[in-house]
Chain A
Amino acid sequence: MAPSESRVLSAPMKVEFDYTRSLGPVLSRFMSALAQQQVLGGVLADGRVVVPPPEFDPVTHAAVTELVPVSSAGVVQTWTWVTEPVKDQPLDRPFAFAHVLLDGSDAPILHAVSVDSPAAMSTGMRVKVRWADEPTGTIRDIAWFEPVGDEEPAPSASVETTGEPEITGIISPVNLEYMYAASPEESKFFRGLAEGRILGQRCPKCQKVYVPPRGACPVDGVPTAEEIELPDRGTVTTFCIVNVPFQGQKIPIPYVSAYVLLDGADIAFLHLILECDAADVRMGMRVEAVWKPREEWTTDLNNIKYFRPTGEPDAEYETYKQHL
């Protein structure tokens, strides 16, 4: 191993999805009002008004049904300074996160306050909503709060609209970017693939050969140190024909997703079967790897493009039935 080469392989992995969130009756009214530059608070059983309105009373647990308009201006109760804003925060320059008690409410809302420096922030200062230029019916319709000028009159409580709320859902994007790291044993396996070799490991206790290697036998819990090089041919144990399109799919359908048991291995792994009709794939079919051209090899199981039938007679059921 070169000194610069890490013991484990890693690669970026992205998980992203736009969840479609239903808001329910309370938050639908709240978001619909925001889209019209109005702020609504929920009236709790003890008479307190809370923004954003909770769906259920924190004391009585009853559903909150009464929403009332509150002012879009209020007082900073406490705050903290954000020196380095991160992506998707309300402001892309340094700002404060603050608890703002809106006039007419009894509990503060957490939001951003836009000022030039922490010196411009103080507990007790008056701030008002800076509305987003384009309403979206989300909490981001409050772009941020900003200080109220000395002579500026505070906006009064907004007027509540009536009728069915227009906004009943929001899109909630999730975007997670990982650096995925393979285990040291898997890394050896993937590096072997980059040289056209398939490396497994044998458990010293049960003698089972694992490919990809696991580092430890999941049954005996002991390290699997002995390295075994395996051939690139084996037997289809079981399989399915995937005929379902889905988001994120990489392989055109229909395709055969098969468990391939390499000769000398004791566990099968999933791979593609091609160069024959999907309907002709069968249990016990003998298959061999079809590799990408050598110059395209990387540390990836995709170096094997797929497996194809060898034309040998099918393996006897007795030889693979313990893998079904």
Chain B
Amino acid sequence: MAKVPAAVIGVGQTKYQAARKDVSIAGLLREAVDRALADAQLTFADIDAVVVGKAPDLFEGVMMPELYLADALGAAGKPLLRVHTAGSVGGSTAIVAASLVQAGVHERVLTVAFEKQSESNAMWALSVPVPFIMPVHAGAGGYFAPHVRSYIRRSGAPTNIGAIVAAKDRQNALKNPYAHLRNENTTVESVLASTMLWDPIRYDETCPSSDGACAMVIASESAVGTSGVTNPAWIHGTQMRSEPTTAAERDQVNPQAGREAAAALWKQAGITSPIDEIDCAEIYVPFSWFEPMWLENLGFAAEGEGWKLTEAGETALGGRIPVNMSGGVLSSNPIGASGMIRFAEASLQVMGEAGEHQVDGARKALGHAYGGGSQFFAMWVVGADKPSN
């Protein structure tokens, strides 16, 4: 049986910022949900099921938050599912929601992901000392920095590539009213001059710690037809892959799971040359060097050559493959929501609703997320046209 065509018909985001002390976690989610429902011209009564995602529970210290959130999410009397795949959770949550529609189970599914980092300390939550081993772990930056060093060595990239990415994303963020960081004066030079935190990663090459939520309404072809939405973002393909955290000679620069997910995604979406056929991409880049790394992992560039696209300005707005037009994870990072924001921003691009950071004439866009020790990957392609497959 063929999949039911499905599309994003509503997107809602909160303004991302360091601390939203005026709302509870439930209130934060509701802000995004209310905006997504309004965008889709729907109410809770129209929603068949709710799929919620968030990062590991220790990040906020609320165990099984989906129980407490049922009221706020209008989930009474409906299926309520929680998805959990570490940092990629926002992406995989959207994919689970989409699959409920594509499978013909539901007509309209509300999906939402969130994080209220101000209530906790992610660095602490990621560095809890475990008995018997060396306590050298130092958060996500400490985990990923050695692999960034490996990328630089393997690719021979100039050492300022990370700074180019950071400066570009911070400039893009100025065009996005929802972005957390609004650092007008960020330049390649200022990034290079910022403090070295986890050598080779500098302060300005890292993501901020944000509060925020992102929600989407995903509808079936028939529900799109009866909605008032005329510019849906059609889902052309979705893929998820996982791999072990540690294995002998595991490639953490260009992980197998990411490569295979991308290859399957392009095939599913009928894309033979991603760089030519994808108009723009929202890629999960929490540390600047992951832009060139994932450009290669996703097949936008050959191995070892992703940095050349970045260096040539091809990933900037107006470039050959604009990346993170919204400012990306480097400018807003409510961890649990960050993956969904990538998926939602890709949708906004093909809906033509990305505002100042809109890529002119974007017809096909990639949304991407990864999580854990680069071991969970989730990605989708959305398009302005209904998929032919």
Contact = CB atoms under 8 A, between A and B. Distances in A.
A84 B304 CA distance: 63
Interface string B181-224: 00000000000000111111100000000000000000000000
A283 interface: yes
Interface stretch (A56-64, A101-109, A123-131, A136-144): A56-64
B124 A243 contact: no
Interface in B1-18: none
Contact of A248 (B44, B72, B128): B128
Interface residues of B, number: 61
Contacts of A54: 71
B119 A19 contact: yes
A301 B58 contact: no
Given A61-B71, A248-B124, A255-B136, A22 B146 contact: no
A191 to B, nearest CB: 10
B193 to A, nearest CB: 15
A250 B119 contact: no
B267 interface: no
Interface string B235-262: 0000000001011110001000000000
Interface in B24-65: 24-27, 30, 44, 58, 60-61
A266 B250 CA distance: 10
A219 B196 CA distance: 36
Interface centre among A10, A186, A219, A257 (most CB of B within 10 A): A257
Interface string B130-149: 11111111110110011111
Interface stretch (A23-31, A85-93, A150-158, A308-316): A23-31
Interface residues of A, number: 71
B150 interface: yes
Give the secondary structure class of A's interface: mixed
B132 A300 contact: yes
B121 A17 contact: yes
A251 B136 contact: yes
Contacts of B199: 240-241, 243, 278
Interface in A249-269: 249-251, 255, 257-259, 266-267
A56 B124 contact: no
B120 interface: yes
A17 B120 CA distance: 8
A321 interface: yes
B138 A242 contact: yes
A209 B249 CA distance: 11
Contacts of B244: 218-219
Given A242-B198, A250-B135, A283-B149, A210 B248 contact: yes
A171 to B, nearest CB: 10
Given A61-B44, A219-B248, 18 more contacts: A13-B130, A15-B58, A22-B20, A27-B24, A56-B26, A61-B72, A63-B30, A174-B61, A182-B132, A219-B244, A238-B146, A240-B146, A241-B198, A246-B139, A251-B136, A257-B142, A267-B247, A272-B134
> Considering the complex of A and B, which 6 residue pairs feature the smallest CB-CB distances, nearest first?
A24-B24, A240-B145, A324-B150, A241-B199, A11-B131, A208-B248
